[in-house]
Amino acid sequence: MKNIVKKYGDGFPAVNDISIDVADGEFVILVGPSGCGKSTLLRMIVGLEDITSGDMMIGDRRVNDLAPRERNLAMVFQNYALYPHLTVYENIAFPLRLAKADDATVDEKVRAASKTLELDEHLDRKPANLSGGQRQRVAMGRAIVRDADAFLFDEPLSNLDAKLRGQMRSEISRLQKKLGITTVYVTHDQTEAMTLGDRVAVLKRGILQQLATPRELYSNPGNLFVAGFIGSPPMNFLPATVEGTSVELPFGSVEIPADKAEKAAGRGLLIAGIRPEAFEDASVVEESKRASGSTFKATVEVVEWLGSEAFGYIPFEAPPEVQEQLQQLERDLDGETLRTQLVISLDAASKVSEGDEAEIWVDTATMHLFDPSTGENLT
Ligand code: ATP
């Protein structure tokens, strides 16, 4: 995708100058909140939507003006689009029958694909008698027999319950690696994006915010939006003023590494981003580790136990100077409570309970500092 733009009528572009280079065999995820333009972008790749400007290339072919079937891509839809009255065999064979392939070719390709997909024992069944995972594989089988150059998925798991979604996620990941086929996958779910993608493109209002590996997005988010979108529970955002190597936060002052402090020097009020897992009940932090962070005292209002881990909630109020920016971020991220509470992780060994004033340790080395007006990550 080179400088791809999509305008519907005269409005703000649904896709605004996006360039993404997907490598052969790579799994790239397009993720972002509703309306960010991810489906539009996918539909332009497949050819279901006209491209306003820019170049859509597959290999060295410019495909802007090619019809969907001339692009040799296979789209796997949310409901898998299987034919209920046809057997698994005939569902997989469907594109070959359409192309008037002879019976011997059909048989060879269907059997090879169903072997790869471990469907060879179910070829006589109808879709109604298959599990969700098997149906997904039939849909992929249909794409495989066509020898498509790439798979495109549009929110294939969004209708499933959480457990099945988890299973299907690992299934898709496993098959994609096994087949080594280039894949572009659309989702609004950051967990799905982080667990499936070799690289993830985060979109907001038609604009590409960051394109990076899941690890990179998590540890080095380019701006406030990406920082807030990636990670669950989300990153905490706190007003911060940097003086030398100390950062003044609502809970007191903490020390940060000199290289970070340097990048944020002389900038007035900033927004500090700290992930919940960078906090801990100070009483369970080892002495050697304690020195690498800072501690402060706060009242933990709510403790949420999840078995192997827990989260503590500490109320606070963001000052007026950053209210507007955080409010906008809440709208962008669909209603998080960024301005009113700090979320901290607590080790299973922690004895902190609701209402306790506790000493909290924070690993300041992982703190980010954002420019409140541009949202840019300065560190
Ligand atoms: P969702 O997850 O809700 O499907 P999305 O990120 O996939 O959202 P798109 O469906 O690509 O977003 O839509 C991007 C923007 O383009 C939205 O503001 C949407 O309202 C607008 N849009 C999409 N299709 C059309 C259309 N046919 N005509 C006019 N505007 C459209």
Give φ, ψ of 100 to 5 degrees: 60, 40
List residues near ligand 1 (CB under 6 A). 8, 14, 32, 34-40, 188
Q: How far is the C-alpha of 42 from the C-alpha of 48, rounded, in Å?
A: 9
What pLDDT digit, counting tens, does each position of 283-324 carry? 999 988 888 888 889 999 999 988 888 999 998 887 777 777
Query: Is the per-residue pLDDT at 135 higher than 90?
Result: no
Residues 44 and 158 in one domain: yes
* Best residue among 10, 36, 334 to mutate for probing ligand 1, ranked by most atoms within 8 Å of CB: 36
Query: Is the per-residue pLDDT at 337 higher than 70?
Result: no
- Residue of the nearest CA to atom 21 in ligand 1? 14
Q: How far is the C-alpha of 319 from the C-alpha of 250, rounded, in Å?
A: 9
Asked if residues 46 and 21 have their Cβ atoms less than 8 Å apart, the reply is no
Task: Please state the rounded mean pLDDT for residues 66-89.
Answer: 86
Which residue(s) pair with 314 in the sheet? 342
What pLDDT digit, counting tens, does each position of 237-263 carry? 988 999 998 998 888 888 888 888 999
Residues 255 and 284 in one domain: yes
Residues 28 and 103 in one domain: yes
The answer to ipTM > 0.85 is yes
Range of the domain at 156: 2-224
- Residue of the nearest CA to atom 25 in ligand 1? 8
Ligand 1: which atom is nearest the Cα of residue 186?
7
- Residue of the nearest CA to atom 7 in ligand 1? 39
Token pair of 140, please?
A: 């992929």
Q: How far is the C-alpha of 28 from the C-alpha of 248, rounded, in Å?
A: 39
- Residue 233, judged by CB atoms within 10 A of its CB (0-12, 13-18, 19+), counts as middle
Angle at 110 between CA 107 and CA 114, to 5 degrees: 135
Give domain status of residue 378, yes or no.
no
The 10 Å Cβ neighbour count of residue 164 is 15
**One-letter amino acid identity for 88?**
V
Ligand 1 centroid distance, CA of 35 (Å): 5
With tokens 């100058």, the residue in question is 17
CATH number for the domain spanning 164: value is 3.40.50.300
User: Which among 224, 256, 275 is the end of a domain?
Assistant: 224
Residues 18 and 114 in one domain: yes
The kind and range of the H/E element at 343 are strand 341-346
Among 373, 17, 368, 10, CA closest to 205: 17
This prediction's pTM: 0.89
User: Which among 195, 224, 253 is the end of a domain?
Assistant: 224
Residues 234 and 211 in one domain: no
- Residue 227, judged by CB atoms within 10 A of its CB (0-12, 13-18, 19+), counts as buried
Average pLDDT, the chain: 90
Asked if residues 2 and 53 have their Cβ atoms less than 8 Å apart, the reply is no
Give domain status of residue 87, yes or no.
yes
Give domain status of residue 375, yes or no.
no
pLDDT at residue 140 in the model? 82
Give the total number of structural domains in the chain.
Answer: 2
* Residue 200 half-sphere exposure toward CB, CA atoms < 13 A: 25
- Residue of the nearest CA to atom 20 in ligand 1? 35
User: Which among 175, 200, 224 is the end of a domain?
Assistant: 224
Residues 219 and 352 in one domain: no
Give domain status of residue 376, yes or no.
no
